[in-house]
Amino acid sequence: DVKVTQSSRYLVKRTGEKVFLECVQDMDHENMFWYRQDPGLGLRLIYFSYDVKMKEKGDIPEGYSVSREKKERFSLILESASTNQTSMYLCASLGILPHEQFFGPGTRLTVL
């Protein structure tokens, strides 16, 4: 079974802090994604990566950056956290089927 893990289920940070959200997949998948999910807005794509050191902006990249130094790990970085970044963050990796994404359990981030 594919396993996608995220470093924390719950995280509380203060405004202005630098925040790292880590995601690891164990199936040697090339493509990985970061989404955020907010009530009434559904899942929105922040960034994705199709290979090590490669990244592309999704629909809402502002305020975020990413890092993919190793194939199995995709990190989302909030350079200076703000209250409007309070959200559920979901990481996914893409399997063999064109749009079969495997999601992690999510990190609920609260920025105070």
Partner 1 sequence: DAKTTQPTSMDCAEGRAANLPCNHSTISGNEYVYWYRQIHSQGPQYIIHGLKNNETNEMASLIITEDRKSSTLILPHATLRDTAVYYCIVINQGGSEKLVFGKGMKLTVNP
Instruction: Tell me the C-alpha distance between 89 and 18, whole Å.
Output: 15
Is residue 61 close enough to count as binding partner 1 by CB under 8 A?
no
Among 43, 61, 71, 86, binds partner 1 (CB under 8 A): 43
Q: Given the complex with partner 1, which of 35 and 85 has the nearer CB atom?
A: 35
Closest distance of CB 7 from partner 1, Å = 14
- Contact between 43 and 60 under an 8 Å Cβ cutoff? The reply is no
- Contact between 22 and 75 under an 8 Å Cβ cutoff? The reply is yes
53: phi then psi, degrees, rounded to nearest 5: 65, 5
Closest distance of CB 65 from partner 1, Å = 19
Is residue 99 close enough to count as binding partner 1 by CB under 8 A?
yes
Closest distance of CB 79 from partner 1, Å = 24
- Contact between 38 and 88 under an 8 Å Cβ cutoff? The reply is yes
Instruction: Tell me the C-alpha distance between 12 and 76, whole Å.
Output: 16
Q: Which parts of this chain interact with partner 1 (CB under 8 A)?
A: 4, 33, 40, 42-43, 45, 48, 58, 90-92, 95, 97-106
